[in-house]
């Protein structure tokens, strides 16, 4: 490994990470005429790499990520993480529920957790803009049961299938109104991208461009506007000047182990909620002895996830479970109020109608993880026709003890690995159990012939927090645009900046906040970039 760094030509913006948030920043800034470089640690995936197979689909996920997972309910890294250009958004399920107004003011309304420094109304226009940019199918007017009006989605709802429709009777019997799931997929041809063909392989990457992965949306736009992508390159430090008040670029290692320094006027850390804290903590200097932008001591703190209460069922019907989309066909915010479930606090989002394949983490065999041998073979034959499930996605409250921190062990580039400590508390367990109880009522009202749930371990999905936004360096790492409080030309983008996480899938909000932050940066370039 070389020790003398190769000095690259200075650019306007260097972005660590080419996933959802990095691609959005890149598109906005490249279109604004800035010279942009995205640096990503994995392959430069193309649509032709996205093979329809649970086995081959594992290639676009991390292999031995540099995290040590601790706690009773470990953080979701392997399945939910990204590896390579496109990041986790290359294999996202593309469910796009919004956060709702109550998510932004939990402290004010319930004296818990944090308020966001902005309101729903500040983000709503960006949700609308993202919908037009990337293409969303759904029924925005139906969602007005629970949220303020916005623009209609640019495409009508997706087609539905029996594996989703069979749940509707059960929800209705429990006074739960379901609406078409909002998804970032094409129900009709959109912006030169074809309509979905409902093959259910979304989770291993959509190669036809019907699903809005970065390659066919913001990353494609960024490249068209001149942004450069450097794959197989790992950013290890953000560099600052002698005063510690200005970021000067990043240090990274290429595939051959050669060290580079990429100077830039603005640095954006867009490497997901786990890696961004690791990067900032590893960028400590004498002016930032506890890690860059960490005067608050909150870099790495308040890691959050969602957890799911899944209800499984078998019906006397061929539900064509392998068809549809992996995310869902119907959704409901009916239990989204923070106190919707007695004795538990936090929002719940209900989703039904995801395709179920024969293998992979979400495969039907894992609906009965206790079965093996001939019993599993028998179950597989029945389940491929009769099986379906619905998911209650639940909100975790931020806890400072849930954290990312460096350890002494180092990776191949000499960068310390990170430990992620994550546990749920009694409140989360109560919310999980309440959703299971309601799930049974819903399922039994459908007429299903078998109903079961797995209550052995709380499954964590999505990773958020770790570099939360707030009003100042006393309570947060960044402001609502992702700009760090201490180093004005250093940004953090992605789910890490959420101060609370609601129960809605995070990627739509990642796009919206990134678009808002990037547009603000572009509009105030002279002040910020200096």
**Interacting residues toward another protein by CB under 8 A:** 42-46, 48-56, 58-59, 61-65, 67, 69, 74, 77-79, 83-84, 197, 199-201, 206-208, 231, 322-323, 358-361, 363, 365, 369-370, 372-374, 376-377, 380-381, 384-385
E-assigned strand segments in 241-378: 247-253, 259-269, 301-314, 330-332, 348-352
- What are the residues whose beta carbons fall under 8 Å from the beta carbon of 463, sequence distance 6 or more? 75, 76, 77, 80, 81, 272, 273, 274, 303, 304, 305, 495
Rounded Cα distance between 393 and 350, Å, is: 6
CA 130 to each of CA 160, 217, 478: distance values in angstroms, whole numbers, following the listed order: 24, 10, 22
Smallest separation, CB 450 to another protein (Å): 18
Smallest separation, CB 323 to another protein (Å): 7
Report whether 457 contacts 363 (CB < 8 A).
no
- Of 130 and 184, which has the nearer Cβ to another protein? 184
Smallest separation, CB 15 to another protein (Å): 20
- Of 63 and 526, which has the nearer Cβ to another protein? 63
- Of 164 and 200, which has the nearer Cβ to another protein? 200
Describe the crossing of helices 507-523 and 120-134 by its angle, rounded to 10 degrees: 100
- Of 207 and 496, which has the nearer Cβ to another protein? 207
Q: What angle (nearest 5°) sits at the alpha carbon of residue 178, between those of residues 175 and 183?
A: 160
Report whether 44 contacts 51 (CB < 8 A).
no
- Of 322 and 340, which has the nearer Cβ to another protein? 322
For 92-110, b/e burial (b = at least 16 CB within 10 A) is bbbbbbbbbbbbbebeeee
Smallest separation, CB 410 to another protein (Å): 14
- Of 410 and 441, which has the nearer Cβ to another protein? 410
Report whether 467 contacts 485 (CB < 8 A).
no
Smallest separation, CB 164 to another protein (Å): 17
- Of 261 and 417, which has the nearer Cβ to another protein? 417
Smallest separation, CB 77 to another protein (Å): 6
Smallest separation, CB 322 to another protein (Å): 5
Strand, helix or coil at 504?
Answer: coil
Phi, psi of 251 (to 5 degrees): -105, 135
């Amino acid at each position: 490994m070389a020790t003398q760094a190769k000095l690259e030509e200075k650019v306007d913006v260097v972005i660590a990470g080419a996933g959802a948030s990095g691609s959005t920043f890149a598109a906005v800034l490249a279109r604004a005429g800035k010279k942009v470089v995205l640096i990503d640690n994995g392959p430069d995936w193309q649509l032709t790499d996205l093979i329809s197979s649970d086995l081959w689909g594992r290639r676009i996920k991390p292999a031995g990520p540099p995290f040590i997972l601790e706690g009773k309910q470990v953080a979701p890294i392997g399945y939910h993480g990204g590896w390579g250009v496109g990041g986790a958004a290359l294999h996202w399920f593309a469910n796009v529920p919004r956060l709702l107004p109550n998510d932004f003011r939990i402290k004010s309304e319930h004296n818990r957790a944090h308020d966001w420094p902005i309101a729903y109304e500040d983000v709503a226009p960006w949700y609308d803009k993202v919908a037009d940019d990337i293409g969303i199918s759904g029924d925005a007017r139906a969602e007005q049961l629970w949220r303020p009006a916005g623009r209609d989605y640019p495409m009508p709802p997706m087609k539905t299938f029996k594996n989703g429709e069979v749940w509707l009777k059960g929800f209705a019997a429990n006074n739960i109104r379901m609406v078409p799931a909002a998804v970032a997929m094409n129900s009709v041809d959109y912006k030169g991208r074809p309509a979905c063909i409902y093959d259910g392989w979304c989770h291993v990457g959509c190669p036809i461009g019907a699903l809005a992965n970065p390659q066919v949306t913001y990353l494609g736009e960024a490249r068209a506007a001149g942004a450069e992508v450097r794959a197989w390159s790992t950013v290890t430090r953000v560099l600052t000047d002698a005063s510690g008040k200005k970021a000067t670029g990043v240090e990274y290692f290429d595939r051959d182990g050669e060290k580079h320094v990429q100077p830039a006027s603005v640095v954006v850390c867009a490497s997901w909620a786990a890696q961004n804290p690791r990067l900032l903590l590893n960028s400590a200097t004498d002016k930032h002895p506890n890690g860059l932008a960490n005067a608050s001591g909150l870099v790495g703190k308040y890691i959050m996830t969602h957890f799911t209460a899944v209800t499984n069922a078998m019906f006397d019907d061929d539900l064509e479970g392998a068809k549809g989309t992996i995310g869902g066909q119907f959704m409901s915010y009916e239990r989204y109020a923070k106190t919707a479930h007695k004795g538990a606090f936090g929002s719940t989002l209900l989703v039904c109608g995801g395709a179920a394949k024969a293998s992979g983490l979400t495969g039907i065999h894992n609906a009965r993880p206790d079965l093996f041998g001939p019993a599993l073979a028998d179950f597989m034959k029945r389940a491929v026709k009769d099986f379906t499930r619905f998911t209650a996605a639940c909100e975790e409250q931020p806890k400072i003890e849930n954290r990312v921190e460096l350890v002494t062990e180092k990776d191949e580039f000499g960068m310390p690995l990170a430990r992620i400590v994550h546990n749920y508390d009694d409140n989360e367990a109560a919310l999980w159990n309440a959703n299971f109880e309601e799930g049974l009522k819903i399922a039994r009202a459908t007429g299903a012939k078998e109903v079961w749930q797995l209550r052995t371990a709380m499954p964590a999905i999505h990773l958020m927090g770790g570099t939360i936004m707030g009003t100042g360096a006393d309570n947060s790492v960044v402001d609502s645009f992702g700009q760090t409080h201490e180093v004005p030309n250093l940004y953090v983008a992605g789910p890490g900046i959420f101060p609370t996480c609601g129960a809605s899938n995070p990627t739509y909000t990642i796009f919206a906040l990134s678009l808002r932050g990037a547009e603000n940066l572009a509009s105030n370039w002279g002040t910020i970039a200096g």
